[in-house]
């Protein structure tokens, strides 16, 4: 590519973005997302490096170990395009793109894990579980819609940030205030979980009826409170689930 050559055409950029949605498909303990990254970038590398040797070197440098959060990876994929354009023009050396990936994959993974995996997913999951009594099966549809409204919009935004800002994408990500939103979403998750626990206990108590109804409701709530305390002390969650089931089963059979 000559120094005057234009940047990567938009259809190729979007092809790279679409391929980045498959980033994790060949995740492995050695190279992690390396093959996925090389596959996503391949259309752009073919366009930037028509000469076989330069193209081979470009593919090989993206087959080195790479791992980050799969959504936030969109920012790195965009940033790699930003750098590869400059490398192809001869404005910077290939070590710049490798340093860019190394510097950002860890911090962005932590940011993505904290926001998407540990905040957005639990909050949307707990909210939709709490809405099961109201919406029925539509709560599963709502889960997919709500989660992806945020997820897909962020993924596209991060990719654009990477393509247009390169190393300065960090400033754009900082403006999103993801950790602040994450803390709020985690509180939503906890509140929804508490709400659905109480609703379940009351509903099954009402359904049972008679003198055992209030007993079942109170027993369920008590079991939940005990489980909350025990799991903090390292008791296995499976053990708690099975014990609760067996205890209630024995009570139901003999009362």
Partner 1 sequence: MVVHWQDVAAAGAWGGLLALERRAFLQAMLSRPLVAATGMGLLLGELETGLYIGMLLELFHLGSAALGAALPENETLAATGTTAASACMATGEGGGGTPALWAVALLLFAGLGVLGRRVDRRLEGVSAHLADRAQQLAREGELERAVRLHGFGPLPYVAAFGLLTAGCALAGFALSPLVHALPLAGLRGLAWAFPAMACVAAALAARASHAQRGGLWATLAGAAVVLGTLVSGWFSR
Taking CB under 8 A as the criterion, which residues in 222-251 touch partner 1? 223-225, 227-228, 231-232, 237-238, 240-242, 244-251
CB of 103 to partner 1, least distance (A): 17
**Alpha helix positions (H), 166-236:** 169-174, 178-208, 212-232
Interface with partner 1, residue 183, by CB under 8 A: yes
Q: Hey, which residues does 28 pair with through a beta bridge?
A: 32
Single out the segment in contact with partner 1 by CB under 8 A; choices: 9-17, 67-75, 79-87, 158-166.
67-75
Long-range contacts of 3-8 (CB under 8 A, 24+ apart): 3/89, 3/90, 3/91, 5/88, 5/89, 7/85, 8/44, 8/47, 8/48, 8/81, 8/85
CB of 161 to partner 1, least distance (A): 20
Q: Which DSSP string do the residues of 215-226 spell out, in sequence order? A: HHHHHHHHHHHH
- Name which of 174 and 187 has its Cβ closer to partner 1: 187
Among 16, 34, 85, 108, binds partner 1 (CB under 8 A): 34
Among 144, 153, 174, 209, binds partner 1 (CB under 8 A): 144
Among 7, 12, 15, 31, binds partner 1 (CB under 8 A): 31
- Name which of 164 and 248 has its Cβ closer to partner 1: 248
Give backbone dihedrals phi and psi of 68, rounded to 5 degrees, phi first: -155, -175
């Amino acid at each position: 590519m000559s120094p005057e050559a234009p940047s990567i055409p938009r259809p190729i950029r979007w092809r790279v973005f679409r391929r980045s949605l498959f980033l994790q498909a060949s995740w492995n303990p050695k190279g992690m997302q390396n093959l996925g990254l090389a596959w996503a970038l391949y259309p752009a590398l073919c366009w930037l490096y028509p000469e076989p040797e330069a193209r081979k070197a470009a593919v090989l440098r993206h087959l080195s170990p790479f791992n980050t959060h799969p959504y936030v990876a969109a920012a790195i994929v965009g940033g790699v395009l930003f750098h590869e354009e400059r490398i192809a023009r001869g404005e910077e050396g290939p070590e710049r793109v490798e340093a860019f990936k190394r510097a950002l994959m860890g911090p962005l993974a932590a940011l993505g894990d904290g926001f998407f995996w540990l905040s957005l997913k639990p909050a949307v999951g707990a909210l939709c579980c709490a809405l099961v009594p109201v919406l029925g099966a539509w709560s599963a549809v709502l889960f997919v819609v709500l989660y992806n409204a945020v997820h897909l919009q962020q993924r596209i935004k991060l990719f654009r940030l990477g393509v247009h800002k390169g190393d300065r994408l960090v400033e754009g990500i900082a403006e999103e205030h993801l950790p602040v939103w994450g803390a709020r979403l985690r509180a939503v998750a906890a509140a929804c979980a508490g709400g659905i626990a109480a609703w379940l206990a009351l509903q099954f108590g009402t359904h049972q009826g008679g003198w055992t109804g209030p007993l079942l409701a109170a027993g369920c709530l008590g079991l939940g409170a005990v489980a909350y305390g025990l799991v903090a002390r390292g008791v296995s969650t499976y053990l708690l689930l099975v014990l609760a089931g067996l205890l209630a089963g024995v009570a139901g059979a003999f009362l």
